């Protein structure tokens, strides 16, 4: 996906390494397919927003989205704050912060959220923490709200091997990604967790054209979305849908 021109402008003020990282990230995963799953209006939470590539893209695509992103990595959030300032100057709504999640017992900030987005974060957490975040996210969705999860699937094998080698490099050697665990699950396994949390789930395998086994797992909380108040999301095909790419 080509980046929004305002995001490119915002990135110009960031250190070169961060700029390269964001540009490489934008080319390496289906950003557009992910953004298309998020309603065009309403309150959007991104958990583990990093430098705010996804959050900023969402906010710049539609001024009707009020996007809130957080991450445990203070250095990334310093860059994300610069990005958020530029997004705000361009008419978008984006706020970012360093956080570990909710204020009280919940691991997720209180909703209701029209969408919760989690892109390539949960594999960094223990299985118990993964399930706690997904269950809490589902509970904080507004009726009709969506949980959009982007993770790597467990096939095809060559893409899995490539992705896992790169993640070990990023987390344990180069240390550009914070996270002590590496716990991958299949897309169908993620879907089962979301179904257990009460969501209606569909899976899209969106890895065509990428060296990584990208999958989007989208869970919708049952409920009525009033037309004109929040943009309806196009129905996504069911689990087992053919592989497609970003476009
Ligand atoms: C691979 S990066 C993805 C960043 C961003 N979601 C994106 O798609 O560009 C994973 C991010 O998850 C963050 N992270 C790891 N554990 C987290 C946690 N418990 N809560 C919030 N963020 C976390 C890391 O700091 C890192 O920025």
The widest CA-to-CA distance across the chain, in whole angstroms, is 49
In percent, how much of the chain has pLDDT > 70?
86
Q: Assign 205 a pLDDT band (cuts: 50, 70, 90).
A: very high
Confidence of residue 238 (pLDDT cuts 50, 70, 90): very low
Band of the pLDDT at 230, cuts 50, 70, 90? Answer: very low
Residue 56 C-alpha to ligand 1 middle, in angstroms? 15
Contact yes or no for 148/39 (Cβ under 8 A):
no
CB of 48 sitting under 6 A from ligand 1: yes
For ligand 1, what atom is nearest to the CA of residue 118? 6
Most confident segment among 10-14, 160-164, 186-190: 186-190
Does the C-beta of 170 come closer than 6 Å to ligand 1? no
Q: Is 98 in the pocket of ligand 1 (CB under 6 A)?
A: no
d(CA 71, CA 109): 12
Domains of the chain are: 5-101+113-220 (3.40.50.150)
Q: What is the mean pLDDT of residues 8-25?
A: 92
Determine the pLDDT at residue 246: 54
Nearest atom, ligand 1, residue 150 CA: 8
What region does 51 belong to: left with phi over 0, alpha with psi -120 to 50, or beta? Answer: alpha
Q: What does the DSSP assignment read for 38-52?
A: S-SSEEEEEES-TTT
The reported pLDDT for the residue numbered 3 is 85
Q: Which phi and psi (to 5°) does residue 112 adopt?
A: -75, 140
Residue 194 · residue 149 · CB < 8 Å: yes
198 C-alpha vs ligand 1 centroid, how far in Å?
Answer: 25
Q: How far apart are CA 245 and CA 242, in angstroms?
A: 10
Q: Looking at residue 245, what is its pLDDT? A: 53
Tell me what the pLDDT averaged over the chain comes to: 89
* Cα–Cα distance measured from residue 56 to residue 119, given in angstroms and rounded to the nearest whole number: 13
CB of 69 within 6 A of ligand 1: the answer is no
For residue 113, give the H/E element and its range.
strand 113-119
């Amino acid at each position: 996906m080509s980046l929004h021109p305002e995001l490119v402008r915002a990135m110009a003020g960031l250190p070169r390494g961060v700029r390269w990282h964001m540009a490489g990230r934008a080319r390496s995963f289906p950003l557009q397919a992910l953004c298309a799953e998020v309603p065009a209006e309403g309150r959007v939470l991104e958990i583990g927003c990093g430098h705010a590539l996804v959050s900023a893209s969402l906010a710049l695509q539609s001024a009707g989205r009020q996007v809130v992103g957080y991450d445990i990595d203070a250095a990334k959030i310093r860059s994300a704050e610069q990005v958020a300032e530029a997004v705000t100057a361009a008419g978008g709504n984006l706020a970012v912060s360093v956080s570990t999640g909710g204020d009280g017992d919940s691991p997720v900030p209180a909703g209701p959220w029209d969408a919760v987005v989690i892109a390539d974060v949960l594999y960094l957490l223990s299985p118990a923490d993964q399930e706690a975040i997904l269950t809490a996210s589902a509970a904080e969705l507004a009726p009709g709200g969506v949980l959009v999860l982007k993770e790597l699937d467990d096939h095809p094998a060559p893409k899995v091997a490539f992705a896992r080698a790169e993640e070990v490099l990023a987390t344990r050697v180069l240390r550009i990604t914070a996270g002590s665990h590496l716990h991958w699950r299949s897309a169908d396994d993620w879907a089962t967790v979301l179904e257990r949390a009460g969501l209606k789930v569909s899976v899209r395998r969106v890895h065509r054209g990428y060296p990584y086994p990208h999958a989007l797992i989208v869970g919708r909380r049952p409920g009525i979305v009033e037309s004109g108040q929040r943009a309806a999301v196009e129905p996504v095909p069911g689990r087992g849908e053919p592989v497609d790419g970003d476009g």
